[in-house]
Amino acid sequence: MTSRFMLDKANARMMGVCSGLAGLTGLDVTIVRVLTVLSLFLLGPVTILLYLVAGLIAPDRV
């Protein structure tokens, strides 16, 4: 069985990207959010661009 990345709007703070990643990887959503903020400091605009693309393209979890 293959897993697909889907936005999790039920646990979302903004677009559901971090909660979707947490569901896909099995990590706690807080850890994913902290890693996203750290990535923002390290990669800057690349993180924002990837977050927006994922939020706009990925399907919602039904």
Instruction: Give CA–CA dist 37/55, Å, rounded.
Output: 16
> pTM score, two decimals?
0.85
Mean pLDDT by 10 residues, the chain (62 residues): 80 91 93 96 94 93 72
Check residue 4 and give its pLDDT: 86
Check residue 62 and give its pLDDT: 66
